[in-house]
Amino acid sequence: MNKNLKKVIAIALAFGTISAVAPVSAGNLLTTKVYASTDENSDTTLDSLELKTSSGSTLKLYDSSSYDSKVNSDDVSEGDTYYVKTSSKTVNVDISGPSSKYVKVFKGTSNSTKGKSVSNDIDLSSGSNTITVRVYSSKPDSDVRYDDDYENQYILKVKYTGSDSSDSSSDSSSSDNADSYDDIYLDKLSIAGESISLSQSKVNYTYNVASDVDQVTIKAVPEDQDNDTVSIDGSDVDDSDNYKKTIDLNKGENKIEVEVSNSDDNTNRVYKLTITRGGTSTTNSTSDQTATTTPVATTVKLNQWVQINGGWQYNDSLGNPVKNQWFLDRNLGKWYYLGVDGFMASNTIINGYRVGADGAWIK
């Protein structure tokens, strides 16, 4: 048997051992990752750069820490710094342009920091985080470090506003003063399907959920749907998605901002939501009444998809959600990726594989 044939068989056997945990099509079996370490890359600038939450939502980029001027994902420039804020504990980078094998992501600026693949999840720390995306002119070593040479870089300053954020949690009346805001308001606001009673003199609202609730869906509808735009936790929402976004919750307090903007006259209003995971009551700051939620026993569903707070999970034969792995739905014949929280990923790239809006791997 000649050497070339042995090499082809070895590659096929190697890919066969991992086919149970990641989708690999037959057409790509003998061609995937066949790159020499000396590959040269002529495309060293990104066509687009996005930062996404673990549930697949895209976060808005801003050109300054005041978060008052948005930057489109396809308008990023090498060497520039962009600002992001989110209450999601885990994020990941999504790019287009050069092959991802020429791109590495660094969290922090220590010289010894090791670069990670763009598909890797990034756990945020309290307060400000620096994420650097670097493009190389040739394929970098697997243990490339922050102080090694690179071609171009893009810097993301990410402010984590989750429960362990250093932001103040005060709810002072001065911050609720409507006189400090322009004449722009939400018409409707709901959390987990429950309407919040809005007041034009209030921008701070609180809401409690039980400790086992790790996601909620927020709906925020502007008064002027023709001219106003809305963002929830840094992501734009509109009538195409019914002005809704599903938010991941950490235990304790979660601080989420809902912004209503009008680009014509540059006015905006920011509503600040504090959602506390760990309570059994629901309170909104415009009322002294508290509605107590009594836990209701539910039947665990086995070997099937279940919808929780607008997201999808798959329960195994024991009723436990499948987590942090690829899952083949044999009934549909499609691969799906279920994250560390058990929720199906969508509209993102996982380990080099793109999944669509329905969560299915796009072959």
CB 98 within 8 A of CB 66: no
* Mean pLDDT for the stretch of residues 41-62: 87
pLDDT of residue 281: 42
Q: How many CA atoms lie within 13 A of 47 on its CB side?
A: 6
Q: What percent of the chain has pLDDT over 70?
A: 76
Which CATH number is 304-355's, of 2.10.270.10, 2.60.40.10, 2.120.10.30, 3.40.718.10? 2.10.270.10
The model's pTM? 0.48
Residue 349 neighbours by CB distance under 10 Å: 21
Chain position carrying tokens 């709906």 = 219
Please state, in angstroms and rounded to a whole number, the distance separating the CA atoms of residues 253 and 202. Answer: 19
Provide the 10 A C-beta neighbour count for residue 219: 23
Chain segment 54-97, per-residue pLDDT in tens? 767 788 899 998 888 899 999 999 999 999 988 888 888 999 99
Q: Are 119 and 104 in contact (CB under 8 A)?
A: no
pLDDT digits (tens, 9 = 90+) for 99-133: 989 999 999 888 888 899 987 889 888 888 999 99
- Tell how far CA 202 is from the center of its chain: 28
Site of tokens 């930062």: 51
SS3 string, 22-87, reads CCCCHHHCCCCCCCCCCCECCCCCCCEEEEEECCCCEECEECCCCCCCEECHHHCCCCCEEEEEEC
Q: Report the b/e string of 40-79 with b at 16+ CB within 10 A.
A: ebeebebeebbbbbbbbbbbbbbeeeebeebbebeebeee
Q: In the numeric block, which tokens belong to residue 60?
A: 């808005």
Residue 211 DSSP label: T
CATH number of 173-292: 2.60.40
Q: Where are the domains of the chain?
A: 1-34, 48-160, 173-292, 304-355
User: What value does the mean pLDDT take over residues 295-304?
Assistant: 62
Please state whether beta strands 204-209 and 267-277 pair in parallel, antiparallel, or not at all (unpaired). Answer: parallel
Structure confidence by residue, pLDDT tens digits, 256-277: 999 998 776 667 888 999 998 8
Q: What is the three-state SS of 212-273?
A: CCCEEEEEEEECCCCCCEEEECCEEECHHHCCEEEEECCCEEEEEEEEEEECCCCEEEEEEE
Residues 143-152 have pLDDT tens digits of 899 999 999 9
